[in-house]
Structure 1
């Protein structure tokens, strides 16, 4: 199996309103997110690619337009915008466009990652 990944960055705020008041994530706060999308294929295309990285531009455009410098609770319409849920949202965006999408990882901090992989 061949696998490729591409990384995207954005900054946004969120608030985990369902947590107890004394939990720091219950307060409005922000992150410099890193999103990593993985695509996999058993065979390469005629150009020797799983997928040309340039074809992932719609993901960059969506991230820049819909997520960057936004309040993610408003973007997704609920108060549980965790990295885990964000990974699934990005995965679904990608899978609808590129069948080779196999996983999405999201980082809020340099030490933490969440992944959605069906």
Structure 2
């Protein structure tokens, strides 16, 4: 199996309202998110690629236009926009456009990652 990954960055706010009010994540706060998309294929295409990295440009546009510097709870219409939820959301967005999508990882801090891989 061949695998490629590409990383994207954006900043946004969110709030986890189901947590106790004294939990720091219950308050409105933000992160400098890192998103890593993994594509895989058993065979390479005629150019020797799993997928041309240029084909990921629509994901960059989606992130820049829809998520960057936004309040994710409002944009995604969900009360609990965790890193796990965001990883699944981005996986589904990618999979609908890039069938080679194998996983999406999301980092909110330099030491934490959440991954969605069916």
Coarse TM-score class (shorter-chain normalised): over 0.9
Q: CA deviation at 1:114?
A: 0.0
- 1:117 alignment counterpart: 117
- 2:101 alignment counterpart: 101
What SS does structure 1 have at the residue aligned with 2:97? Answer: coil
TM-score normalized with structure 1 length: 0.99
Aligned residues: 118
The residue correspondences of 1:57-68 to structure 2 (distance < 5 A) are 57-68=57-68
- Deviating beyond 2 angstroms after TM superposition, the runs of 4 or more aligned structure 1 residues are none
- 1:38 alignment counterpart: 38
Q: Could you report, residue by residue, the CA deviation over 1:35-64 in whole angstroms, capped at 9, with x for unpaired residues?
A: 000000000000000000000000000000
TM-score normalized with structure 2 length: 0.99
Q: CA RMSD in A?
A: 0.3
- 1:4 alignment counterpart: 4
- 2:16 alignment counterpart: 16
CA distance in 2, matches of 1:99, 1:110: 29
CA distance in 2, matches of 1:108, 1:117: 18
Q: Structure 2: where are the runs of 5+ without partners?
A: none
CA distance in 2, matches of 1:68, 1:99: 25
Matching of residue 25 in structure 1 with residue 25 in structure 2: yes
Q: CA deviation at 1:78?
A: 1.7
